[in-house]
Chains A and B, each alone.
Chain A
């Protein structure tokens, strides 16, 4: 039996009944659900109408009717219901209509499914689902999107003002914006997001303009943080996740960026005040708020730097004032206090960098630059390089002014080394440090070998091996010297025919490691000459190719003074000892006689005579009896001298070695600049002046900051000495001469 042909009108009339039933269901009218039989009949009708032979194949008509069904429903039912409602109610209606629409699409897609399988795929037409959604988009969405957006934004602003809103409603509405894009975000972004962001900007612009006037900086930041948190919360509840970054940036821009300067500079609560009052929590919040904003931290770092600089400068000022009030015998106590305060300041603000500012490089840099400013000031005539080395000396020497545990010493030394990083003149520090290290080592005034080695290790790590090589050499020399002395004593025991006459301890030093010392040709007393000869004989048994040079100025002698009342052991430097021995053969000697017999310079003779006749212990009587040594003075052994102690120490008056150190460093710098220039020119052969100066500064910057003028002077000197010449055609260019 052949299947009965269904004509279009008859078939469509049947479909129409099904569609009407569906609509009634959607509208909530009393209607029984579709039974499976009804469903099958509807599906089969479409199937039959699509599979009949032309001209009874109604696929195209049915495809058109499918779309018409939606259009008709939208125009007769959906739009009127939306048009009569406003604001939140309109949103609710929209959500409901969208849900209904999706149900309708789903059911009709099933009824018309056969079209998708053959007709649509063969013709490359839009699928049934897409057609359905497009109908809603083009008819409903396009009409209501503006009002919907406004309503949504109004509700968002309402929520911002603290009112309760229906978040799920907004979620559903915004889902429409997303879904209507059918996989693309264009609709959501163009029709909603961009406008919402604009509204957000306006909202916060208005709010911030008010807050910035009435709130303190911390209160403002609390509000800012709260705003950001709530906007992020909003995203997680109903905005699309892709909006978060843009939304946050808007808030940041309006609340944090635009008012950054005004906020940070608030008179009594801004960044400066927070630092002044140690408001750690508020500063941390400031960091959290600004660190994700491009260049957002720059002003904070700048204030941080200014603040530290000001605090450091205040410390320097205090120390300067205290120093000028200090008596000359104060021995730089105030300067030592300054170093301690620098260390504390550094600890404090390094903690800020690490904790409040999360180790951000900007704040490390700000801290560094601030310390570089005030750590390079001079206080009481002392450069910071000298102050630091003196501070170390006090910690490391016996009986120093610091009383610290081993752990505290090591910790403090570590911090001092870190502070050294900020000092431009590291070479000056090295020279002062070496000078004091030498004194500690040579006069047995070092408290602890381990600490000496410890600081050298830290200095080496920070400044490089070249920086510490001489110092390490010094420490090694001392160890070798002890060993050498043991060998000398052994030598004396093994060679009984050799008799030095008096006890002798010698410390052998390597030239180049140690600071340069004057090596005068002192006329030694005969008693001393003999024991030097003995040592020399010993030394030559241990090495054939070294030369001994004696530095008497570093020596110490134990001399028994025979006075009328009792003998007293005098512990004196070698120069005064030699002078005293002259009085074994004469009761009175003139200044010039002493000068001639000792073969020393005036400066040294004045110092030693001062220590013997004008200081605490007057071993010699001076004529005239005053405090100043002059070349017309006469000196006489003081037989009547006595003291309650049996042993007394007579030091030389302290020499001002600052000038010497500075001169030495200046000289070394000249060599260093020359070497750098020659090194650069040797590799480049031809180089412009600017470039040469630049590279020179770069090469030397780790140790000291060369003055441009100093470099120019060295260049000229090298030209004069024929290492360089000016290019014949361009006097701004130099050539290396082999």
Chain B
């Protein structure tokens, strides 16, 4: 057992808490980045996951536990049981991350292929391993690149089959779920604006560009370029903010805003 200084031990503990990684892996990442936490995170997330051997018989058993009685798929009821087993609320955002790993085509459904290959990629073949993996999946939302991938995946996952756009109510629910992770100060105004002024489905382009907008345009909107390539709806939103005095002289004027 290594003798670690207090600083190093604190960092190790912090890394394990955030990523859910094992102590061995955490130690490896921190050493590779010379004990800088941010570097360690980069190292950890960019490492191809070691293909942990998974017992395919156990995976079959897991699948059969949750699959629908009549359809060779896991449907809403099966997912409810799964959430119960791994002690996760079905509304928890970590279920979105899980769906992303499984490359699920649509919400509340996992095909057999999606389920088994997804769990294999996560190195999960038992409920114990599944529970252990939850913190790791939750921590992936901290990584900017993965958040973007998950965010854009969410659009296709949440929309109705055969539709090109995402229903407004669903979109609003997804945004509230996702931006709880990102702390975009205008998310509530955005949702109110959509219900007041738009009241229609959301296009994929608007969906993906909103994330860029949230990231690149300051919350005071002083650097917003209405002549730029932002989607029309975002132009309207900026107008709405200015019209309603929410943004005045480049300052947020909303006492109810929580930081």
Contact = CB atoms under 8 A, between A and B. Distances in A.
Given A709-B232, A712-B235, A731-B212, 9 more contacts: A689-B228, A690-B228, A716-B203, A716-B205, A726-B209, A731-B209, A731-B229, A732-B228, A732-B229
21 contacts: A688-B229, A689-B228, A689-B229, A690-B227, A690-B229, A708-B227, A709-B232, A712-B235, A713-B232, A716-B206, A719-B204, A720-B164, A720-B165, A720-B203, A720-B204, A726-B205, A731-B212, A731-B229, A732-B228, A732-B229, A733-B229
A690 to B, nearest CB: 7
A689 B229 CA distance: 6
B232 A712 contact: yes
Interface in B166-191: none
B231 to A, nearest CB: 6
A731 B212 CA distance: 9
Interface in A690-738: 690, 693, 708-709, 712-713, 716, 719-720, 726, 731-734
Interface in B229-255: 229, 231-232, 235
A172 B208 CA distance: 87
A720 B206 CA distance: 10
Interface residues of A, number: 16
Give the top 7 A-B pairs by smallest Cβ distance, nearest first: A689-B229, A732-B229, A712-B232, A719-B205, A720-B203, A713-B232, A716-B205
A732 B205 CA distance: 12
A343 to B, nearest CB: 38
A689 B206 CA distance: 15
Contact of B231 (A708, A716, A733): A716
A645 B164 CA distance: 64
Contacts of B208: 726
Contacts of A720: 164-165, 203-205
A719 to B, nearest CB: 5
Contacts of B206: 716
Contacts of B231: 712, 716
B228 A719 contact: no
B203 A719 contact: yes
Nearest to B165: A720
A491 to B, nearest CB: 53
Nearest to B205: A719
Q: Chain B, interface size: which category?
A: 10 to 19
A257 to B, nearest CB: 38
Contacts of B212: 731
Q: Of residues A690, A726, A731, which shows the largest number of chain B Cβ atoms within 10 Å of its Cβ?
A: A731
Nearest to B231: A716
Interface string B192-215: 000000000001111011001000
Contacts of A713: 232
Contacts of B165: 720
Q: Of residues B165, B203, B206, B228, which shows the largest number of chain A Cβ atoms within 10 Å of its Cβ?
A: B228
Interface string A406-448: 0000000000000000000000000000000000000000000
Nearest to A718: B205
Contacts of A732: 228-229
Nearest to B204: A720
A728 to B, nearest CB: 11
A452 B227 CA distance: 44
Contacts of A709: 232, 235
A303 to B, nearest CB: 32
B61 to A, nearest CB: 41
A716 B234 CA distance: 12
Contacts of A733: 229
Given A690-B227, A726-B205, A731-B209, A716 B164 contact: no
Nearest to A709: B232
A615 B48 CA distance: 84
Contacts of B203: 716, 719-720
Contacts of A726: 205, 208-209, 229
B215 to A, nearest CB: 11
A684 to B, nearest CB: 15
B229 A716 contact: no
A713 B200 CA distance: 14
B228 to A, nearest CB: 6
A716 B232 CA distance: 8
A38 to B, nearest CB: 96
Interface in B107-165: 164-165
Nearest to A688: B229
Nearest to A690: B227
A709 B206 CA distance: 15
Q: Of residues A688, A719, A733, which shows the largest number of chain B Cβ atoms within 10 Å of its Cβ?
A: A719
A716 to B, nearest CB: 6
A638 B38 CA distance: 93
A716 B206 CA distance: 8
Q: Of residues B229, B231, B232, which shows the largest number of chain A Cβ atoms within 10 Å of its Cβ?
A: B229
A670 to B, nearest CB: 13
B195 to A, nearest CB: 20
Interface string A677-693: 00000000000111001
Nearest to A711: B232
Nearest to B232: A712
Contacts of B205: 716, 719-720, 726
Interface in B210-229: 212, 227-229
B194 to A, nearest CB: 15
Nearest to A712: B232
Contacts of B228: 689-690, 732
A712 B206 CA distance: 12
A230 to B, nearest CB: 56
A719 B209 CA distance: 12
Nearest to A726: B205
A151 B165 CA distance: 91
Nearest to B213: A731
Interface in B25-55: none
A719 B235 CA distance: 17
A28 B182 CA distance: 112
A662 to B, nearest CB: 21
Contacts of B209: 726, 731
